[in-house]
Amino acid sequence: MTPLSHIRNFSIVAHIDHGKSTLADRLIQETNTVAERDMKAQMLDNMDIERERGITIKAQTVRINYTALNGEEYILNLIDTPGHVDFAYEVSRSMRAVEGSLLVVDSTQGVEAQTLANVYHAIDADHEIVPVLNKIDLPATDCDRVAEQIEDVIGIDASDAIRVSAKTGEGIIETLEAVVHKLPAPTGTLDAPLKAMLVDSWYDSYLGVIVLVRIMDGQLKKGERIKMLSNGSTHHVDRIGVFRPEMTEIDALGPGELGFLTASIKQVRDTSVGDTITHEKKGCTEALPGFKPSQPVVFCGLFPVDAAQFEDLRDSIEKLALNDASFSYEMETSAALGFGFRCGFLGLLHLEVIRDRIEREYDIDLITTAPSVIYDIHMRDGTVEQLHNPADMPDLTFVDHIEEPRIKATILVPDDYLGDVLKLCQDRRGIQEDLTYAGSRAMVVYDLPLNEVVFDFYDRLKSVTKGYASFDYQMIGYREDSLVKMSILVNDEPVDALSTMVHRDRAEMRGRAMVEKLKDLIPRHMFKIPIQAAIGGKVIARETLSAMRKDVTAKCYGGDASRKRKLLDKQKAGKKKMRQFGKVDIPQEAFISALKMDN
């Protein structure tokens, strides 16, 4: 057993693209954890989509053996965490499994919004934090300014921050030495009853569920029977091991160590993240303080373009849900789109990633409906209902008021673009709470409705600031507002897939934009089609799609005008009858384009 004083558990936290995964690559390479011939960029990102987008989605762990300059052997357990706001849940739980963090900041860009969010996760978990300034090989690097910024904005002493280039490998030895000498060793007792924290779990088609654990006290050996404290289920441990990044089996895990176990568990649902694992007999009785379960924030419908693929879609969603505990789904039907699923996500990037994985890994073409958030509907009789889909809105006569989710958004932006950002937030019904400066950059804090952020806020923010702004948010609760359901009627028939919740003041503008868009998207029929946006029984916007018509008067040469009139009136009556019985075909592309809200 390695003595506790020679174990270090740490994570790497940073904003998106500040070089976490590249730094992890260099640490693995420097310590010869992986043979040179097996090294590849983003070693720990093993999903195709992670490599393509250059982002980390799942937190990954690796065990590194390091001989320090003083000749002593250390075991370092590293967790590489995601930087994106949608996966902050992964970050917060990885933090509980380790004692220290390397805070990576890009020495050309400085502190960004997500840097702050991730550091606060680390501070909440009582971490020792070592600042690392990355990308010192770039000409635009300015370490002194960024170190000062870290001290001003975060309040961590950065005077002796390690200067690193994860690309060239400069400063990597200093980073490893800092991990060994500045970060605390884990605590734990070998003789105490087993107490292990379940950090993560995912499904493997050969081994069943693989569980990532951090041993707090006691020892876990192969062949023992373990018990999950949250649901009391017991399992027999088949194998125990560590990641060097590939799985390597060992006989036992002691206190302070991170590793994995498999115990023929069939479903990921049987293992709740943050649970405490102990021995079936003579186990500990007190559970570790777990994590809050992740709450889905954004909901949207996923429907197959080809209705025959519904069963394939069901299989693919069930398989994805095995590996992603934060993704929830239930079946739903829609008159326009047929059978599909209503799914819950942590944010828009999470939604995109799941959608891409279904289309890619299972080869299913999908239609996604407009993303919406959960509203609290307060009824007159005092009950509260949750509304996931605007199409299910109850009758307004029974509704007292509607509350919508609000977020606290932190935006860091260069001074030149501040006006545009403030205007964007005001346009989205934001309430300004704070405006401070960190060097030449402004830090704006806004209280915003999540509904306005879900559609395209991030894209708009990036475009008005030429990509320089960084954005982070957290949920702060619900607040009452004047919200209404806007329905779209095509030929007097409501189209449930296009109904959305909007603010009363914005309804007319949104409605007009939507019907103008649909007028261009729906092909012309033999009869004229009214396209309307309505709130309840009141139509707020209308466009009419004119009919294709045959020239019935073509054969009339000369003669009396009443002859032509008679033919035209006959045609008119036929069109009127046709409109009563005619069915309007709305093509799939029209749905997809109409749901993409522009400005």
Sign of CA dihedral 218, 224, 228, 229: negative
Tokens of 410: 């932190």
C-alpha R_g of the chain? 29
Rounded distance, CA 306 to CA 413, Å?
A: 44
**What is the helix (H) or strand (E) element at residue 538, kind and residue range?**
strand 538-545
Place of tokens 């393509």: 52
At 145 the three-state DSSP class reads: helix
What pairs with residue 435 in β-bridges? 444
Binding residues for GTP: 17-22, 134-137
What letter represents residue 527's amino acid? F
DSSP 90: H
Rounded distance, CA 313 to CA 319, Å?
A: 10
Tokens of 22: 């590249």
Place of tokens 């509904």: 451
At 182 the three-state DSSP class reads: helix
> Is 242 in contact with 203 (CB distance < 8 Å)?
no
What letter represents residue 173's amino acid? I
Rounded distance, CA 274 to CA 100, Å?
A: 19
Rounded distance, CA 411 to CA 420, Å?
A: 12
End-to-end CA distance of the chain: 61
Angle at 328 between CA 325 and CA 333, to 5 degrees: 160
At 591 the three-state DSSP class reads: helix
Rounded distance, CA 321 to CA 209, Å?
A: 13
What pairs with residue 306 in β-bridges? none
Residues contacting residue 216 through CB under 8 Å, at least 6 positions apart: 188, 195, 196, 197, 255, 288
Query: 6: exposed, middle or buried (C-beta count within 10 Å: 0-12, 13-18, 19+)?
Result: middle
Q: Identify which of 521, 575, 522, 519 has the alpha carbon closest to the alpha carbon of residue 544.
A: 519
Long-range contacts of 329-332 (CB under 8 A, 24+ apart): 332/301, 332/389
